[in-house]
Amino acid sequence: MTTSDLPPYPPIDPTTFDLIIIGTGLPASLISASSSAAGKSVLHLDPNPFYGSHFSSLSIPDLTSFLNSHSAPHSDENLTLTTRPLFSDVEISNFAPDLLDQHLRKFNLDLSGPRVLFCADKSIDLMLKSGASQYVEFKSVDASFVGDGDGRLWSVPDSRAAIFKDKTLGLMEKNQLMRFFKLVQGHLSENENNGTENGAKISAEDLESPFVEFLSKMKLPPKIKSYPLDLLLVKVAFLVSSCDIFHVNVDYFVLFSICRIVLYAIAMADYDQENTEIHKDLLKTKDGIDRLALYNASIGRFQNALGALIYPIYGQGELPQAFCRRAAVKGCLYGKNSALVTALMRVGVGPADASDFSAKGRGVEDSGSYKGVRLASGQDIFSQKLVLDPSFTVPWPLSSSPCEQMQDTFQVLSLSDDKVKVARGICITKRSLKPDLLNCLVVFPPKSLFPEQFTSIRVLQLSSNLAVCPSGMFVLYFSALCDEVNQGKKLLHAALDALLQLLVSGNSENSSTFQSEDTEHVEPTLLWSALYIQELTKGGQIGSVSSTPMPDGSLNFNDLLDATEKLFQNMYPNEEFFWETIEPENSEDDGGLMLET
């Protein structure tokens, strides 16, 4: 459905705002809510018939259409604002059309999965502070695992108590672990209390060093081959025979190397931490400790959350919508199906002589600076500032003549510095990766699936209890960072193979259906898949125009939140990002503490 098929919308009134935002992704929605709460008049538009943009959750047909339309260069002569495709190499396969066709709309598939929230995340506190938490409900992610590429899943401990209950840990190993956690704990409480109690503190030098080196120092070695191989096999055999390997939580994880679990499934490192040549990819100790702290603080924070992670019912797309709703409560005006044609620039005002144009960019504020937008409806709307969806690049105005350098800066501004991309995949399956589990996280550390796998692949399985798919089905999201498309595709296919292997082997009683020669009665495990490469943009700002970032490759929203807050501070240096704690939407009589007068 194109904009022209829809009935004409009434013209927007008023026609001047403090801020216009195009695109309703999460960063844009945060800016909208915060600006509106700060008293700015905001117009928030989205060219799509839904809210959420690249952060939304969509049905199969809508997701397919979005990926396809955003992977081809947009050719529309009416559009003088350039858009660039942010997806590429989209591969969508439907393996069970008979089954799926009747259920196509019963899915809420994340465009930017896998994504979860840690219970102690900044995003949770932000939701509570802003009042957006009233509109979203969460359920627990039941468990986390590390995959080893051989079809086994190793439990990630969800509590320190669980580690120490473990019977297979030797005394020495337990002591090592205890010392390590004591040190981490001491370091963290140090920072909170600003006092020295036991002197248990991590040195500044250590903090700057790579986390993997620090872990090694703590006698938590990364390499599994540091264990004698025969001893390892004996231990594994003992475990397999002595317990139900898929139902016991933590009894065997230590054999798979605590260090790798900490690095990739708790600290969520993306790059191979043992590849010491590429230093920039190494996680620093201070960051590793912070992530450990986040994980630790998340466990047990909420009743009914089994581990550290939670996920919003109906999909990630609920989050931008919740913030949009807060913005609307504070007066922001909303519009869907509002396509942008061009940004309007101030023309003819400023230095008459082009040579006056100073390198300091004085010209940006004068001639050629932003004044408003023209919508596809034909209406011109004006504002002080503009925030754009990452798919737009703003061309310099046609009539004034800036120096080349400014033009380049503008276009380059929004692209990621190091050309890293995110390879993403989505699968719909009929079985769980683990028979009794609904929602879980699986991490395939670097090199676990194939030798050239330089980045971690993270997989999130979600079930119908989150209202993201029909009952009896599961949705798998997986992603990995990559430098270029082929590498990305290779990562995705390796993940897909490993996952299928898990699905089949984990349900060995039913494996005959998958391997069966009799194609008529084969019930496919994998019903549908989508693989695609997504560009990363960091977002940025020039003058009064800002660009929001694309969803990043992280598992949670922390980095995106930080980037958004920075954008907001640049736009409104005198305002605080969500300064007020907002009472529930209900009447003032029902909200808050019942005071006795």
Partner 1 sequence: MESDEEEVREERLPLSRRPEWSDVTPLPQDDGPDPVVSIAYKQDFRETMDYFRAVYRADERSSRALRLTQEAIRFNPGNYTVFLDLGFCYVWHFRRQIIESLDADLHEELDFVERIAKSNSKNYQIWHHRRWVAGKLGTDAAIKELEFTKKILSLDAKNYHAWSHRQWVLQALGGWEDELDYCRKLLEEDIFNNSAWNQRYFVVTRSPFLGGLKAMRDSEVSDTVEAIMENPENESPWRYLRGLYKDDIQSLTNDPKVSSVCLKVLSAKNNYVFALSMLLDLLCYGFQPSEEFTEAIGALRTSDSEPLDSDLGKAICHVLQHIDSMRANYWMWRKSKLPVAV
Q: Which residues bind partner 1 (CB under 8 A)?
A: 119, 124, 127-128, 133-134, 137-140, 302-305, 310, 313, 465, 583-584, 586-587, 589-597
Cβ-based nearer residue to partner 1, 302 or 579: 302
Cβ-based nearer residue to partner 1, 76 or 583: 583
Smallest distance, partner 1 to C-beta of residue 36, A: 21
Smallest distance, partner 1 to C-beta of residue 585, A: 8
Please report the DSSP string for 160-205 in residue order: HHHHHH-SS--HHHHHHHHHHHHHHHHHHHHHHHTS-SS-----HH
Q: In the numeric block, which tokens belong to residue 189?
A: 């409480």
Smallest distance, partner 1 to C-beta of residue 305, A: 5
- In the block, which residue shows the tokens 């798998």? 476
Decide: 412 and 488 in contact? Cβ < 8 Å: no
Smallest distance, partner 1 to C-beta of residue 124, A: 6
Cβ-based nearer residue to partner 1, 241 or 597: 597
Dist CA 162 CA 168 (whole Å) = 12
3-state secondary structure 291-316: HHHHHHHHCCCCCCCCCCEEEECCCC
Decide: 88 and 70 in contact? Cβ < 8 Å: no
Cβ-based nearer residue to partner 1, 313 or 344: 313
C-alpha distances in angstroms, 479 versus 28, 114, 289?
Answer: 23, 7, 24
DSSP 455: B
Cβ-based nearer residue to partner 1, 300 or 543: 300
Smallest distance, partner 1 to C-beta of residue 451, A: 39
Decide: 533 and 485 in contact? Cβ < 8 Å: yes
Dist CA 47 CA 586 (whole Å) = 31
**Helix (H/G/I), strand (E/B), else coil: 508:** helix
Decide: 460 and 476 in contact? Cβ < 8 Å: yes
Smallest distance, partner 1 to C-beta of residue 473, A: 16
Look at residues 403, 409, 397, 406 and name the one whose alpha carbon lies nearest to residue 356: 403
Question: Sign (positive/negative) of CA torsion 242, 244, 247, 252?
Answer: positive
Give 374's strand partners: 342, 380
Smallest distance, partner 1 to C-beta of residue 587, A: 6
Cβ-based nearer residue to partner 1, 230 or 596: 596
Cβ-based nearer residue to partner 1, 120 or 491: 120
Cβ-based nearer residue to partner 1, 200 or 329: 329
Smallest distance, partner 1 to C-beta of residue 11, A: 24
Cβ-based nearer residue to partner 1, 112 or 439: 439
Smallest distance, partner 1 to C-beta of residue 370, A: 38
Dist CA 405 CA 455 (whole Å) = 35
